[in-house]
Amino acid sequence: MPVFFCPGCWAEVPEGVQRCPSCGADLKALDEASFRVKLIRALRHPEALTAVRAASLLGKLQAREAIPELVERYRAGVDPYFAAAIARALVDIDGEEAQAALRVLAKDPSVIVRNATRSKGEE
């Protein structure tokens, strides 16, 4: 049986409900958001692999609007694999704001994260 989550607060919700019983969000309105907005929200998904995939896709889309949330998620103390996905997304997005964040991630204690901060030409 599939599990459904509210894209506003990520609480588990029953199938077919109109409003999230936890936060009261209008699920139809949240569903109508753009793909990029949904991916940015998915960075907070409770299933770790969903958040990692969202970071990867945001990087591939070079979604500059995702940089603040990517940085926030890293600062929240995520696991090294998610932090590395964030770093790879920032490398792909590039730009001044992404480079500033990458300078911080390049000092991460995890070698996985530090290695992910390198651009493709540096590997």
Q: Tell me what pLDDT residue 97 has.
A: 97
Q: Tell me what pLDDT residue 121 has.
A: 56
Name residue 101's amino acid: A
Those residues with Cβ within 8 angstroms of residue 49's Cβ, 6 or more apart along the chain or in another chain? none
Q: Where are the domains of the chain?
A: 48-122
pTM: 0.88
Those residues with Cβ within 8 angstroms of residue 90's Cβ, 6 or more apart along the chain or in another chain? 59, 67, 70, 98, 101, 102, 105, 117
Q: Tell me what pLDDT residue 82 has.
A: 98
Tens digits of pLDDT across the chain (123 residues): 788 899 889 999 999 899 999 999 999 998 899 999 999 999 999 999 999 999 999 999 999 999 999 999 999 999 999 999 999 999 999 999 999 999 999 999 999 999 999 976 565
